[in-house]
Structure 1
Amino acid sequence: MATARLAPGVALVTVPGQGLAVRTPDGEFLRVDTGTAAPDAVVERLTRGHGSPGDTGAQVPAQGPDSVGVGPSAPDAPDAPDGELERLAAAFDGAGYLAHEGDGTRGPLAGRTVAVLGDDVLTEPLTRFVRAEGGEVRRAKRLTDLPGEQSPDVVVWCLDSPVPQGLWDEADRLPADGTGWLRCHREGTTAWLEPLAAAPGDVTSADVRLRRLAATPAHRELAAYWAGSRTDDTGPAHTAASAALTACLLTADLIAWAAGRGGARRLRRVDLRDLTVDEHTVLPVPAVAPLTR
């Protein structure tokens, strides 16, 4: 275990008068029973000289409702034999608090292929974020540019404008084939982020349009706006900040989907003027049988 160190997000905390504690990536504090080992020696062993009791947060007490006591520590114990330090290292490893050199880092999107379409102001930051999280990105101009034999795991389409009539009709069929489908677009000063659809029955762009039409008394005007019966959009387009925020939210949706937590039925709106975000639950529209005469 000589190549093991603390995992990302894990920290050792030397608590005055209490000994050693570990802060988990979730922010929980656990007391460490160091046995006959001195806390300084444990810190040295688990950080290999990259941490010290003086900079592990000695001012932060390991107490409170989120703390879990696992036994007393021994702050004044003499140096313990290597076997005791290895026992503690093995306990940390078994709890998932150590990372091993050479293991490599796998981001939450590792092994996932993400096809990205749309306007550069949004697709460029999204591409960077997806790759930073371990995903493979394929850029395309049209859905037909994606080869069928190497179909992506999910398609993300970003527009810095309203959605042209019928543009996303074909993409709405992707979830029925097991391909994820995520999209966003802009209408004036508002960016709309629709929920990721990954299976039959999930919310599609057509569902969102129908729900939005049903929720406004100006449904005729909104339908005409979408159909293109409007003057040119002279409102503020995405800035670097609003595009980065939008790309971050989309990346978070992708990470949740990759972790099996997809399917959140929420429609989000980003106000490009002050970057505030609000969300509303949106449900798929049930299929209706055709009228008979």
Structure 2
Amino acid sequence: MALRTFAPGVEIFPVAGETVLRTPSGEFLRVNRELGDDPDRMDPETLGAFEARGLVTAPGPSRWPGPVTVVGDGAIAAALRGLLDRMGAEVIHADDLRPSALDPDLSPADCAAVVWCCDGHPPEAWATLDTLLTRRGIAWQRCSVEGATIVIEPVALGPDDVTHADVRARRLAASESPEHLLAYWTASGEDRRRGPSPIGPAQAAFVAALLAADLADQVGGADGAGRRAAAGARRLRLVDSVELTVTDHPILPLPPVEPRRSA
């Protein structure tokens, strides 16, 4: 069994008597024609150069450190459950999750991650779960819908990571009309009128793929211990449900506010 393989997206082909390697990003590199198909047979210097550029990887079975609870009764949650199951995760189905019902001894071995998918606005419980889950080391991923926009929040692995409260605070700080945005978020269901849901089968599958990829990148690791992808740790993703396009926004820390001094 090979210990290493070429990274996904790497291709090697002949051109006019030479051997060329195309990187996953589209760069073309001339390489030794005797390179072969097995990176394990490379000389140490060549192998080191390939590893440094991310062209060689050591594959392993995808393992999750524990079950993944997917909360929600909508189309996105259903699509995500099916996808995670095919990715080898043990998926727990929950239509709702009350913070008061959480087992005080719950650990990542019992539940590696909680993913709450709302086909509408998020419940108030998210603010409480920010603390209850992250202080236990349980990954916390969230997805909601605002109009025709699907909001995918960063995965929080610990109390120092970006939580739902952090996302909302940063979005309010960046909004041109924070009072309207806050009212939009906090309006009760009785006071809210809306058209048909923008979430169809295509939208649900598209968003589920983004959620699953982020979760696997942040939580699932070949060694079972998980890994942290810095690029996605503070990334808010806004999905246009009409065009099926994604816009990434960094969630920057809010600057400290000094207390006012009385005159």
- Residues 1-293 of structure 1 mapped to structure 2, 5 A cutoff: 13=13, 17=17, 26=24, 66-70=28-32, 72-73=33-34, 91=41, 106-107=61-62, 109-140=63-94, 141-144=96-99, 147=103, 148=106, 151-164=110-123, 166-173=124-131, 174-229=133-188, 230-258=191-219, 259-262=227-230, 263-285=232-254
TM score, norm. by length of structure 1:
0.64
- Cα RMSD (Å): 3.9
Alpha-carbon contact 2:237-2:246 (below 8 Å) kept: yes
Shift of residue 167, structure 1, vs aligned partner: 2.0
Go from structure 1 to structure 2 and tell me whether the alpha carbon gap of 1:281 and 1:17 turns closer, same or farther (over 3 Å shift).
Answer: closer
For structure 1, which runs of at least 5 residues remain unmatched after alignment? 29-64, 74-84, 98-102
2-side partners of 1:233 and 1:271: how far apart?
A: 17
- In terms of mean alpha carbon deviation, does 113-122 or 229-238 score higher? 229-238
Q: For residues 21 and 250 of structure 2, what CA distance do their matches in structure 1 show?
A: 35
SS in structure 2 at match of 1:244: helix
Q: Distance in 2 between matches of 1:168 and 1:199?
A: 15
**TM-score, length-normalised on structure 2?**
0.71
Separation of aligned partners in 2, 1:274 and 1:215: 24
Q: Is the 8 A contact 1:201 1:284 kept in 2?
A: no
The residue aligned with 1:32 is none
TM-superposed CA distance for 1:235, in Å, is 4.1
Contact 2:113–2:141, Cα closer than 8 Å, also in 1: yes
Return closer, same or farther for 1:23/1:219 CA change in 2, 3 Å cut-off: same
1:23 CA drift (Å) = 6.2
* Percent of matched pairs sharing the same residue: 34
Q: CA contact under 8 A between 2:20 and 2:29: conserved in structure 1?
A: no
Gaps of 5+ in 2: 220-226
After superposition, the Cα gap between the structure-2 partners of 1:289 and 1:152, relative to the gap in structure 1 and judged at 3 Å, is farther
* Structure 1 residue 197 displacement after superposition: 1.1
Give the CA deviation at 1:169: 1.6
* Deviation by residue 1:57-90 (Cα, 9 ceiling, x = unmatched): xxxxxxxx633533x55xxxxxxxxxxx9xx797
By how many angstroms is 1:170 displaced?
1.8
Residues 20 and 31, structure 2, Cα contact 8 Å, conserved in 1 = no
Alpha-carbon distance in 1 for matches of 2:172, 2:7 = 46
Q: Classify the secondary structure of the residue corresponding to 2:92.
A: strand
Give 1:274's aligned amino acid: E
Deviation digits for residues 3-26 of structure 1 (CA, Å, limit 9, x no counterpart): 99x8895777566755xx696885
Residue number in structure 2 paired with 1:47:
none
Which protein is bigger by CA-based radius of gyration? 1
Residues paired across the two proteins, number: 235
Change (3 A) 1:113 1:287: farther
Query: Could you say which residue in structure 2 is the equivalent of 1:62?
Result: none
